[in-house]
Amino acid sequence: MSDIMTPMNSMKKYPIISLEVFPPKSENAELELIKELETLKRFEPEAVSVTYGAGGSNKDSSIGLIKKLQSELGFNVMPHFTCICSSKEYIDNYLKEILDLNIRDILALRGDEPQDIEVCYKDFVHANELVEYLKSKSDLNISVAGYPEGHYAAENLQKDLENLKRKVDSGANSVYTQMFFENHHFFEFLERTKQIGIDVPIIPGILPIVSIAGLLKMSELCKVEVPKGLMKKLETYQDDPKSILEIGVDFATEQVESLINSKVKNLHFYTLNKAYSIQKILNGVKFYQSL
């Protein structure tokens, strides 16, 4: 482990982190987000990824935020790029906007079918088609989504894995995973990806829990397992939001330490646009204590 973890041995800092944010709905909320992210700058995130509504539903706010993160905070921004219901022409135009912003990295996704859209084009049905198309049109570094516990709509884990391989074979350079709360799901996923011949970096997605309602909604939506012991603990403090936040921090810190101890070098944090939990987690992780 020491070869990758000891800062003295290496110019590179591990773990390398990326932060996922979503475009806020108001100018005030955007200012707040910029302030929050400013406090995470010292952890030198490799990228800040910006979510994107399926069908381009929040395109203007995404682009606006990307520009601010680049110009005001100097971050390397990795826009998410969805394709469901989008026409080829739309994808071409969005690609041009992204390239005009000197973006190097994107996360290519299918997205979930938007409810409020009049016309749903079928030019791109799955993310592998988007990866292939964007690779043919640019030299962007393209990442894709992976699901340690399986995508909610997948027939089974094996089929889902084969579909992930399709994305990598189409040119994806790395995989960012959906959140998980049991590290064994991630380690088993790593094993299965290796067996099927996926040899690009797989970056675990960590979601620090901030509320019980949010956790239940997300675990139901994405079909991820929540450990019973964790749920029980959260329920004990259900009327105490501060304690819930701290339980979330402690749980994610342990998760992160176990990943780092297993030589995981990169971590992707679902920030929910807040810095507090991420700060506490990274301050609690051994390597960062000296920063």
Catalytic residue set? 20
Phi and psi at residue 82, to the nearest 5°: -95, 160
Q: Which is nearer to ligand FAD, 18 or 253 (CB)?
A: 18
Pick the binder of ligand FAD from 13, 68, 165, 166 (CB under 6 A): 166
Q: Which of 185, 192, 136, 183 is nearest to 164 (CA)?
A: 192
Give the C-alpha distances (Å, rounded to integers) separating 187 from 197, 205, 265.
Answer: 16, 13, 14
Give the C-alpha distances (Å, rounded to integers) separating 261 from 15, 18, 40, 148, 258.
Answer: 11, 19, 23, 19, 5
Pick the binder of ligand FAD from 21, 46, 110, 181 (CB under 6 A): 110
**Cα(207)–Cα(248) distance, integer angstroms:** 9
Give the C-alpha distances (Å, rounded to integers) separating 129 from 2, 94, 168, 272, 278.
Answer: 40, 16, 11, 29, 34
> Is residue 280 part of the contact set for ligand FAD (CB under 6 A)?
no
**Cα(20)–Cα(188) distance, integer angstroms:** 24
Residue reference for tokens 């990866």: 131
> Is residue 75 part of the contact set for ligand FAD (CB under 6 A)?
no
> Is residue 128 part of the contact set for ligand FAD (CB under 6 A)?
yes
Give the C-alpha distances (Å, rounded to integers) separating 74 from 67, 68, 100, 131, 258.
Answer: 10, 9, 16, 27, 31
Structure tokens at 150: 């399986």
Largest CA distance in the chain: 57
> Is residue 80 part of the contact set for ligand FAD (CB under 6 A)?
yes
Per-position x/- string for 243-272, each x denoting binding to ligand FAD as judged by CB under 6 A, each - no binding: ------------------------------
CB neighbours (10 Å) of residue 42?
Answer: 11
> Is residue 112 part of the contact set for ligand FAD (CB under 6 A)?
yes
CA angle 267, 273, 278 (to 5 degrees): 40
> Is residue 51 part of the contact set for ligand FAD (CB under 6 A)?
yes
Q: Which is nearer to ligand FAD, 224 or 281 (CB)?
A: 224
> Is residue 208 part of the contact set for ligand FAD (CB under 6 A)?
no
> Is residue 122 part of the contact set for ligand FAD (CB under 6 A)?
no
> Is residue 134 part of the contact set for ligand FAD (CB under 6 A)?
no
> Is residue 153 part of the contact set for ligand FAD (CB under 6 A)?
yes
> Is residue 45 part of the contact set for ligand FAD (CB under 6 A)?
no
Q: For the CB of residue 10, give the shortest distance to ligand FAD in the complex, in Å.
A: 27
Q: Which is nearer to ligand FAD, 82 or 244 (CB)?
A: 82
Give the range of 161-169, 190-198, 237-245, 255-263 binding ligand FAD by CB under 6 A.
161-169
Q: For the CB of residue 148, give the shortest distance to ligand FAD in the complex, in Å.
A: 10
Burial of 244: CB neighbours in 10 Å, binned 0-12, 13-18, 19+: buried
Give the range of 65-73, 121-129, 212-220, 233-241 binding ligand FAD by CB under 6 A.
121-129
* Contact set with ligand FAD (CB under 6 A): 51-52, 54, 80, 82, 107, 109-112, 126-128, 145, 151, 153-154, 159-160, 163, 166-167, 176, 178, 205
